[in-house]
C-alpha cells in the first residue's frame, strides 16, 4: 500500500517570511505593547523624599516637599511647620498682612533678612527662613511650643516682657489654634539627624514610617 506523499516544505526558505508576518501581526494588534502585558514601572523617590502619611498635605506636592526638607534641615517637625503655615496664610504664597508680613509663613521683611531670605514671595525661601526662625525660637524657649508660637506672632520681646504668652487676644487665639492643630505643647530641641528619628521621618525596611518612643 502506498501513502500519499505531501510536498516537502523547506522551512528555512519560509523563515524570513514568518518572522516578518509575526512582526506585522504583533505590531498591528498591539499584542506585545498591551498595557496589561507591559512591564510595570514605579516612579521611585529617594529616602530623603519619603514623607510619612500622617504629615498634613497642602495640596501642592512641591510645597509639601519644601516643607518636609526645611524641617529635615533644621530639626523642626514638619507637622508644626504645616500648622503654622495653615494658620498664617492658609497655604497662600501671595498672602500679605496689613502690617506687611508676606508669604506662606507671613514673615516681616526684617525677619526675612535676618534669616537670609530677600524674596519673601519665593515659596522655598519663605518656608526655609520661617522654619529657621521657628527653630531659633524653639531653642530659645526650651521647646515650649506655646511660647515659641507667641513669640512668632508678637515677637520674643513681648514674651520676655510678660514672662509668658502676652495678653493680646490675637496672640492668645493664634497660639490656641496652632497648638490644637499640631497636638503638642512640647517640641524636643534636637539636631537634624536626631529629628529624623524623634519625629518619625524615616522609614524602616518594610517601607513603613519608623517609630521611636
Rg (CA), the chain: 30
Cα separations (Å) of 51 from 73, 106, 126, 200, 209? 14, 24, 20, 10, 9
Partners of 102 in the beta sheet?
96, 107
Let me know if 88 is a catalytic residue. Answer: yes
Which one from 88, 156, 172, 193 is the annotated catalytic residue?
Answer: 88
Q: Which of 72, 74, 73, 68 is nearest to 55 (CA)?
A: 68
| Residue 184, all three cell numbers | 503638642
Catalytically active residues, by annotation = 88
Amino acid at each position: 500500500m502506498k501513502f500519499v506523499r505531501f510536498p516537502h516544505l523547506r522551512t528555512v526558505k519560509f523563515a524570513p517570511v514568518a518572522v516578518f508576518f509575526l512582526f506585522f501581526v504583533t505590531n498591528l494588534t498591539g499584542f506585545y505593547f498591551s498595557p496589561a502585558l507591559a512591564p510595570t514601572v514605579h516612579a521611585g523617590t529617594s529616602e530623603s523624599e519619603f514623607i510619612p502619611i500622617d504629615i498634613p498635605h497642602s495640596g501642592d506636592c512641591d510645597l509639601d516637599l519644601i516643607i518636609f526638607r526645611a524641617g529635615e534641615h533644621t530639626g523642626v517637625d514638619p507637622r508644626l511647620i504645616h500648622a503654622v503655615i495653615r494658620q498664617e496664610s492658609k497655604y497662600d504664597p501671595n498672602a500679605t498682612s496689613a502690617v506687611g508680613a508676606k508669604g506662606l509663613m507671613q514673615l516681616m521683611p526684617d525677619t526675612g533678612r535676618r534669616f537670609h531670605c530677600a524674596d519673601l514671595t519665593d515659596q522655598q525661601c519663605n518656608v526655609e527662613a520661617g522654619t529657621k526662625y521657628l527653630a531659633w525660637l524653639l531653642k530659645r524657649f526650651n521647646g515650649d511650643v506655646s511660647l515659641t508660637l507667641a513669640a512668632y506672632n508678637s515677637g520674643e520681646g513681648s514674651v520676655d516682657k510678660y514672662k509668658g504668652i502676652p495678653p493680646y487676644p490675637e496672640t492668645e487665639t493664634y497660639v490656641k489654634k496652632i497648638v490644637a492643630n499640631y497636638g503638642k505643647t512640647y517640641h524636643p530641641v534636637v539636631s537634624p539627624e536626631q529629628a529624623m528619628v524623634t519625629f518619625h521621618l524615616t522609614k524602616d525596611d518594610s517601607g513603613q514610617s519608623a517609630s521611636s518612643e
